[in-house]
Amino acid sequence: MAARKRTHSDFSKAGPQARPLLILASASPRRRSLLAEHGYAFEVRVPHGVEEIAPAHLSPGETVLANARAKARAAFAELAQPEHAIVLGVDTEVFFEGRVLGKPADMDAAFAMIRRLNGRAHEVYSGVWIVGQGKERGFIEVTRVRFFHRTDAELRHYLARIHPLDKAGAYAAQDDRGEMIAAFEGSFSNVIGLPMERLRAELRAFGIC
């Protein structure tokens, strides 16, 4: 059953003991799916004017946490009635040999990107930041992923199937079908874009179960 999305009318009817409204500050369909699959009711509010950063002086974990914090704080600041809301900001990046592998600009870039990862291991970092009820907290999740080695023809066939241009690292963990991911260490949902195991525990601290 799909998660029910609360509306502005829920805010107006909410009393002082009302269950807080969870707001996802992300347009990612994969994050929406993960939250819904785990039974959370939520709204999506993508903040305006937030640009992701990747400065050289920050570690991978510091980078994703800074981006998640900026998204959550910006979305929270845009709420008309923030006292009833818990805002969740997330940033997930693929790191390989000390560099961020973002979303490919075109199919040639996607092929070059996944060819670099082919048969090798990389890390997926997620920064998560939660704002609401007069407090903030965040965490970093890291998953190590190892790919099978595939031929160039197999890589091109895979890319044609998954449509990689909106995917960091040019691959789709949620739709892998055993084609690329040989093994992983850590949270698999983190590779998809939202580390649900740790997130569930953190949300309980904000009254969201």
Check residue 17 and give its pLDDT: 56
Size of the chain in residues: 209
Strands (E), the chain: 21-24, 42-44, 85-96, 99-101, 121-132, 135-147, 181-185
Quote the DSSP letter at residue 16: T
Look at the block and give the residue holding tokens 């946490």: 65
% of the chain at pLDDT higher than 90? 83
Query: Could you tell me which residues are beta bridge partners of residue 123?
Result: 95, 144
Region 87-95 average pLDDT? 97
Report CA 93 to chain centroid distance, whole Å: 8
What residue has token string 């305006």? Answer: 48
Tokens 């055993």 label which residue? 178
**Rounded Cα gap, residues 179 and 187, in angstroms:** 19
Amino acid in position 23: I
Q: Which residues carry out catalysis?
A: 91
Reported as a single tens digit per residue, the pLDDT across 107-159 is 999 999 999 999 999 999 999 999 999 999 999 999 999 999 999 999 999 99
What pLDDT sits at residue 11?
Answer: 42
Q: Residue 6 — very low, low, confident or very high, per pLDDT cuts 50/70/90? A: very low
**Half-sphere exposure of residue 159, counting CA atoms within 13 Å on the CB side?**
26
What's the CA gap between 209 and 202, in Å, rounded? 10
- Tokens for 37, please give them: 């699959």
Domain 19-204: which CATH number of 3.90.950.10, 3.40.50.2300, 2.160.10.10, 3.50.50.60:
3.90.950.10
Domain residue limits, the chain: 19-204
Contact predicate 66/53, CB 8 Å: yes
- 42-72 per-position pLDDT tens digit: 999 999 989 988 888 999 999 999 999 999 9
